[in-house]
Structure 1
Amino acid sequence: MNHRLVQSMMPPSNSGTEKYIAIIDQDKVTDEVRNIAVKYDPLNRSGYEGFYVTEDGELHIDDVNVMREHKLIEKKIPNDAIQIVPLPSETGQLVHQYGDNGFRMHDLPVPEDGRIVGLLGRNGIGKSTVLRILAGELVPNFGTTNEETDWNQAIESFRGTTLQTHLERLRDDSVTTAYKNQRVDALHEGDVKTVNELLVARSDDPDRFVDELDLRSIRDRSLADLSGGERQRVAIGVTLSTDADLYLFDEPSSFLDIEQRLSVARTIRSHVQETDAAALVVEHDLATLDLLSDAIHVLYGEPGGFGVVAQRLAVRTGINQFLDGRLKEENVQIRRNSIDFPTAGERGVQSGEPVLNYPQLEKAFGEFSLRVELGQVHAGETIGIVGENALGKTTFVKLLTGSIDADNGTGLDEVTVSYKPQYITPDSDETVRERFTTVADIHSQSFTTRIQDPFELEPLYDRSLGSLSGGELQRVGIALCLARDADLYLIDEPSAFLDVNHRVSIADQVQQFSKQTDCPVLVVDHDLFVIDRVADRLIVFDGEPGRRGQASTPQAMRAGMNAFLSSLGITFRRDEQTGRPRVNKPGSQLDQKQKSSGEYYYGD
């Protein structure tokens, strides 16, 4: 029986300012649960619309109708079948506001000597604002946007807290901070031209991290000629080689391969512990964040509207609660659904017809040579491509697209290929809408359901490509690639500039697109979180970076990840609670056990 009630009048407004949603576990919903929810719902009893039973027997309530009073029902329901939880709302100390109706930042994390504090949250939620305040670059105004403020007001606002001392030192210029900006394309400073000149100009000990960060071979290179990964390592080296009390790193893993990410994490940790300095790190690669951090602050709120710094948590607890979507200590739901992870055993069985057969291929550029083992790509599958930088992954992609020819290897199938390159540069002032009209019918239903809605394009349509943020441009680039009519899709580093939420969304949308269209998608990425989520099979690159590379034939996820991680000497495990990939500490009991058994990647 359908118990839904329909009223033309609006239900009473929620009491207070908090908004709530109902989390209903349909597997736990029994007839008893349905009867209690419908019978005791205060809205139903007042003649308005509350909990109702759908035609297929599921218990439901529209989000807009959930209010605090529904917690009375939650208490009556057995087995936690229903949870009434508040949505993010502005709470805590208002620290800074941009303009009268601008973004508002609430609360601040506390730096701690000898420890690294990680900041985890969506883009546009205030992470960079927090770093700028604690670096002394931005004086907080506490919402007084029309008045001048100084550090004395900040000190008074946080008097009696552990932040007071740090803010006093900022006021007195008695604390030295070193800040690695999110943007690594702006390394130029005055007349500085080369990596060495930059290290000498901005470092207290220019030679300190040259070898640890593999900078010696590029020391005499022009800054303008550096790759993204090289720029990132230089920026980190400049930051670490500054004698500072507080180090701040905004997305240190971008453009780095997996080995470099883990090496940089170990280098930062070692330096912070040796110097007893404090450090704050914003990072979207969860494996890197896990390895780097001693504690976690999750930031939540409304992107572009407000942000709140939640209380400090242990690293595993903080990351897992973020993935679960609910911060228990704050009693706030920051995401509608939890983020789950498939096991390797659920993937890798190919039933689709072959779309592409490629032979053994060889290509040489100067001192570098690439060898590709023959392979086959099937309809409806997603293949991850992993390996260190400078092993020829992008060259392999270009061989498949036909933009370069192999030196040896014939019989490559003729297929149409759509390609999203590693670096996306807006090359015109045209709008997003204008660009999409050149590749697809943006008014068709298939475009709306497969491209426009999943990639959140509509709010961007009237923006120029040049005005987009890195994350927005990345979404547009991936969507443009998938919007073209092609037999095969190649996406190079889709995770760059995206937060965890968008990385999950992109991985899921790529998987769904491949299955819906029966078109295979190849994805190159260094974030194992993304590869673990998106890939059915793997192509593994190994060799000597800059000298020679070799690409394996596509193989099952478990076999591929074992081969890849063993080449790096790294073992991964799955978190018992969430199933997410986690790096084992080198030399730990679990690390040694997995290496001895040959299981570098616990997929199940």
Structure 2
Amino acid sequence: MNSRDQKYIAIIDQDKVTDEVRNIAVKYDPLNRSGHEGFHVTEDAELHIDDVNVMREHKLIEKKIPNDAIKIVPLPSETGQLVHQYGENGFRMYDLPIPEDGRIIGLLGPNGIGKSTVLRILAGKLVPNFGTTNGELDWNQAIEAFRGTTLQTHLERLRDDSVTISYKQQRVDSLHEANAETVSDLFVARSDDPDRFVDDLDLRSIWDRSLADLSGGERQRVAIGATLSTDADLYLFDEPSSFLDIEQRLSVAQTIRSHVQETDAAALVVEHDLATLDLLSDAIHVLYGEPGGFGVVAQQLAVRTGINQFLDGRLKEENVQIRRNSIDFPTAGERGVQYGDPVLDYPRLEKSFEEFSLTVESGQIHTGESIGIVGENALGKTTFVKLLAGSVEADERTVLGEVTVSYKPQYITPDSDETVRERFTAVADLHSQSFTRRIQDPFELEPLYDRSLGSLSGGRVTAYWDCTLSCTRRRSLSPGRALSIPGRQSTCVPRR
């Protein structure tokens, strides 16, 4: 990227802004000197400059300002070794992490930034093209590009098929498509010691169960166990904590760590749960860039340092601002939410299945209220939600209320070639200010509009579903009519 194309933003610590700071910033701003608006003082006496007006020349002002009151930092740009590009104008991946024997390296970054692409390359499932989108690909080009680095050895072993890799992919909803009927069949096919991880991952009770009948958490634990059961040189885990409750995340992390240390194998983990990532990893790489546009693997950092810099939105060693704002977690008292009238009343409900029964005590849901459902897997959380949504009927009493209930299922399988734009057009007015403010901008949908639903990454599929259901919630339905949302086990039912 040409240095003139580099974008910058100004970080201003208003607590450190004095009259001296204001005078220097306004006086020496090259935009102000040329008759344009740069740094200026607002009616609230705060120093301000619009992000779009910040440029490299403003770093000269930064050097004149005392007490680090102003910092001019670059926004993410395409930098490093271009490793892979999807199509002529497609997503571009820069640099790769290096597997290390006996250590677990974490990958942290937003969805659509290339984490799964990195794993696929290191697993040998994707040959990097280094930006060449036409022509035959081979590992020799990759080896030459990383000659003299530790990564060269791994790539040579991929070429020579002399490295064993065990890869737990992101999606576990297709686990039943494996060449096995039951959980035990899968483990027996993977290992000479199929019983090794059964107790560590609490699989004994489902050992003889069909893979097709497993819950999300059970599928995840089975997939992790099957991955660990393979005697491998490199283990790759793409989001191992999804679908798992808190206790299971702890036991899974401990099991993975123990196995990697005992075997002196290398491991890479993609994980969004920061507590799990902290527990699992020996070091991490933060990935930054433009989701769906390009991704950059930053240099390796200590776990706590990397997580804190990711939350702050600035990588100090790279001197790059990866996000305009930091990620903060407000307490319940800071949210200042006031709940309205009850929108849904539900009585005491009971639902019995062949091997499981659930009892739900009566309750209410109020306008503006978000209720969390916490509990171990297989205790009925999903069944409870389905009872409220109407996709499962209670044994006797039913949920009443004049309200439309939108339900996002646990498993999301968007196999359609339909584009995101086409699907949203069917349920919302894309040109309305309400849609732009509530849905499009917060979920960063605009870059996805021309993508097919089947091409979206796991996180972006989930975002699409969340947005679709948010749109659905505003639709008026005639009494007794159900709105079908495409996908597995999905319902949107008007309650009467």
Contact 1:90 1:106 in 2 (8 A): yes
- Measured in 1, the distance between the counterparts of 2:451 and 2:144 equals 42
TM alignment of 1:191-590, pairs within 5 A: 192-346=180-334, 352-407=340-395, 414-422=401-409, 423-426=411-414, 432=420, 435-436=423-424, 439-461=427-449, 465-466=453-454, 468-483=456-471, 484-485=473-474
Contact 2:111 2:457 in 1 (8 A): no
Contact 1:199 1:206 in 2 (8 A): yes
Give 1:126's match in structure 2, choosing from 111, 114, 133: 114
Contact 2:112 2:460 in 1 (8 A): no
Deviation readout 1:139-163 (Å, 9 max, x if unpaired): 3343444454544443343333332
- Measured in 2, the distance between the counterparts of 1:302 and 1:318 equals 19
Identity %: 84
Give the TM-score of the pair, scaled to structure 1: 0.71
How many angstroms does 1:218 deviate by? Answer: 2.8
- Measured in 1, the distance between the counterparts of 2:93 and 2:289 equals 9
| Root-mean-square deviation over aligned CA pairs | 3.0
Deviation readout 1:19-66 (Å, 9 max, x if unpaired): 211122334434332221111112222334322234454433232332
What residue in structure 1 maps to residue 105 of structure 2?
Answer: 117
- Measured in 1, the distance between the counterparts of 2:401 and 2:226 equals 47
Indicate how the Cα distance of structure 1 residues 432 and 418 shifts in structure 2: closer, same or farther if over 3 A, else same.
farther
Q: In structure 1, what residue type is equivalent to 2:96?
A: L
- Measured in 2, the distance between the counterparts of 1:41 and 1:111 equals 46
Indicate how the Cα distance of structure 1 residues 347 and 452 shifts in structure 2: closer, same or farther if over 3 A, else same.
closer
What residue in structure 2 maps to residue 137 of structure 1?
Answer: 125
Deviation readout 1:185-226 (Å, 9 max, x if unpaired): 344677533333322333343222122223333333333333
Deviation readout 1:360-418 (Å, 9 max, x if unpaired): 433332342223334343332222111112111122223333444444668x6524132
How many angstroms does 1:295 deviate by? Answer: 0.6
Give the TM-score of the pair, scaled to structure 2: 0.85
Q: In structure 2, what residue type is equivalent to 1:325?
A: G
- Measured in 2, the distance between the counterparts of 1:83 and 1:397 equals 48
- Measured in 2, the distance between the counterparts of 1:109 and 1:465 equals 29
Deviation readout 1:436-487 (Å, 9 max, x if unpaired): 4555555543333223333334455565555544333322322232222389
Q: Secondary structure at the match of 1:341?
A: coil
Q: In structure 2, what residue type is equivalent to 1:201?
A: A
What residue in structure 1 maps to residue 157 of structure 2?
Answer: 169
How many angstroms does 1:355 deviate by? Answer: 3.7
Contact 1:116 1:293 in 2 (8 A): yes
Contact 2:389 2:407 in 1 (8 A): no
How many angstroms does 1:17 deviate by? Answer: 4.5
- Measured in 1, the distance between the counterparts of 2:255 and 2:407 equals 32
Indicate how the Cα distance of structure 1 residues 212 and 58 shifts in structure 2: closer, same or farther if over 3 A, else same.
same
- Measured in 2, the distance between the counterparts of 1:248 and 1:307 equals 19
- Measured in 1, the distance between the counterparts of 2:388 and 2:412 equals 20
How many angstroms does 1:16 deviate by? Answer: 4.2
How many angstroms does 1:229 deviate by? Answer: 2.6
